[in-house]
Structure 1
Amino acid sequence: MGYMDGGTQDQDQPKWTFLTSHARVLIMIARDPGIRVRDVASACGLTERTVQGIVSDLEEGGYLVRSREGRRNRYEIVPGAMFRHPAESDHEIAGLLALITEPPTP
């Protein structure tokens, strides 16, 4: 379990971060729509079970569509999905995903 999810905090990790676990999982999927839950969990410092729950939340919230390709899942970000919080609800998540997933310009 990651430290932000009730696990123990590593001395080298910050006490807080700007992005939630839901945002991190969505970003990882946006970067690689065929990514495995195991790899998302490892990259985000979460358990596989936590990531599975987040993926379900994102599907139920209308942010993500999951489909099967052979034995693997493939994910698609729903175009036009808006932020949930009232302070940002007039913005699409696509802007954040583009900012975080595109390589920085030199």
Structure 2
Amino acid sequence: MSRKGWTFLSNHGHVLVCLADNPDMLIRDMADNIGITERAVQQIVADLEDAQVITRHREGRRNRYVVRRDVRFRHSLEAGLRVGDFVDLLRQRPRLRRLTAEESARPAVAQRDAR
């Protein structure tokens, strides 16, 4: 990613957002929404599971994920923040929707006013 294309959340954060929005989301759909490979999503899901941020439950041929809201963030700068607080903050925004290139380029205030 170029320095101009950086985002506030890492891919781990993006996967967490996807799972918080839709616990039944397929790996393929997460990869498409985030813009990374399915293999990368699989590795991130494994990381989140290993860190006990999420739990995975098998339901037939599908997986269902539960975000563990009580888990604290790992970095010392965010150690006081729980995953549930982060998820709640993100729930204040519209559910997953990819922005057009034009919307992405506009400041957030202009996007909110345009709705």
Task: Please report the TM-score for the alignment, with normalisation by the length of structure 1.
Answer: 0.82
Number of aligned residue pairs: give it.
95
Greater CA deviation, 75-84 or 31-40? 75-84
Unaligned segments of structure 1, at least 5 residues: 4-8
The answer (yes or no) to whether the contact 2:68–2:83 under 8 Å persists in 1 is: no
Query: Corresponding residue for 2:36?
Result: 46
Between the two proteins, what is the percent identity of the paired residues? 41
Deviation at 1:103, TM superposition (A): 4.0
Query: After TM superposition, where is structure 1 displaced by more than 4 Å over at least 4 residues in a row?
Result: none
Describe the SS at the equivalent of 1:91: coil
Deviation by residue 1:14-43 (Cα, 9 ceiling, x = unmatched):
421100000000000000000000000000
Query: Corresponding residue for 1:81?
Result: 71
| Matches of 2:91 and 2:28, distance apart in 1 | 20
Deviation by residue 1:30-77 (Cα, 9 ceiling, x = unmatched):
000000000000000010000000000000001000011111000001
Partner amino acid for 1:61? A
Describe the SS at the equivalent of 1:87: helix
Query: Could you say what the CA RMSD is over the residues aligned between the two structures, in angstroms?
Result: 1.9
Q: Aligned to 1:63, which of 44, 47, 53? A: 53
The answer (yes or no) to whether the contact 1:27–1:101 under 8 Å persists in 2 is: no
Higher relative contact order (CA 8 A, sep 6+): 1
Partner amino acid for 2:20? A
Larger-Rg structure: 2
Task: Please report the TM-score for the alignment, with normalisation by the length of structure 2.
Answer: 0.76
Query: Corresponding residue for 2:25?
Result: 35
Unaligned segments of structure 2, at least 5 residues: 95-115
The answer (yes or no) to whether the contact 1:30–1:97 under 8 Å persists in 2 is: yes
| Matches of 1:36 and 1:52, distance apart in 2 | 10
